[in-house]
Amino acid sequence: MVIGVIRPVYTFNSKVHNVTSRLQRTSQWSIARATWYGNPSGAGSDGGACGYQNAVDLPPFSSMISAGGPLLFASGKGCGACYQVRCTKNQNSACSGKPVTVVITDECPGCDSTHFDLSGTAFGAMASSRKGQQLRDAGTFNIQYRRVSCNYPGKTLTFHVDSGANPYYFSALIEYEDGDGSLSTVELKEALDSMSWKPMQQSWGAVWKVNSGSPLMAPLSLKLTSESGQTIVANNVIPAGWEPGMTYRSIVNFH
């Protein structure tokens, strides 16, 4: 998927439904294996199997990302989920024991179910002051992790329309979901007076698509349901005259 060259970002009204999240958070820590890849002070990848492209080294991701094993990546449904990770001095003498938050942005093929293949930046962030490289030199060891809510201050739900989209085929990368961080379903509605929602299919990673037998009548609204069942309707977020490669942003986010 290609997001396209720098172009204006358009913002449209949206509305929120069912704002009570049912995803259960826990204060308990679990054990996972951790490795790192890429540049020692880099983002590890360009967004990889989730499709976030080069944005992962910029705020709000800021290279604090990870590829996930099968249970974490969940065939792409885990894209955008946030986790706290930490390691203690019992696991490595360079560990600080302080948790850092990472986002799943890629897949770790062949890894254990809950394996975290962290960026060099994220891996080093678990270390005590000035011991980041010492920790990275360890290569691999067990860490502690727990699922947490995502929080992207100043960001709202954003839709990057695929460069291959056309009136009969709509596809977009969806990102910056607060709360669960991951989506279970996405639906599309045509024009202002339409009451019919078309289910979208997960294309790959965080990219969702719909094939239509006739030209889609914009503006298009998108209804997103999070992993825990919270739903947001982004009314008319894709305007009439939309173009492939453009970026469109709603004014709301999950709670």
Q: Give the mean pLDDT of 213-234.
A: 94
pLDDT at 16: 43
Q: Give the mean pLDDT of 28-33.
A: 95
Q: Report how many domains make up the chain.
A: 2
> Which CATH number does the domain housing residue 138 bear?
2.40.40.10
With cut-offs at 50, 70 and 90, classify the pLDDT of residue 252: confident
Residue 125: inside a domain, yes or no?
A: yes
With cut-offs at 50, 70 and 90, classify the pLDDT of residue 2: very low
Instruction: Mark which of 130, 148, 166 sits at the end of a domain.
Output: 148
Instruction: Mark which of 131, 148, 165 sits at the end of a domain.
Output: 148
Instruction: Look up the pTM and report it.
Output: 0.87
Q: Give the mean pLDDT of 111-127.
A: 95
* Whole-angstrom distance, CA of residue 144 vs CA of residue 238: 41
Instruction: Mark which of 148, 178, 206 sits at the end of a domain.
Output: 148
Q: Give the mean pLDDT of 130-157.
A: 94
Instruction: For residues 178 and 135, state if they share a domain.
Output: no
**pLDDT of 21 above 60:** no
pLDDT at 27: 67
Instruction: For residues 74 and 181, state if they share a domain.
Output: no
**pLDDT of 7 above 60:** no
Q: Which domain holds residue 36?
A: 30-148
Which of these, 34, 69, 86, 58, lies nearest to 176 by C-alpha position? 58
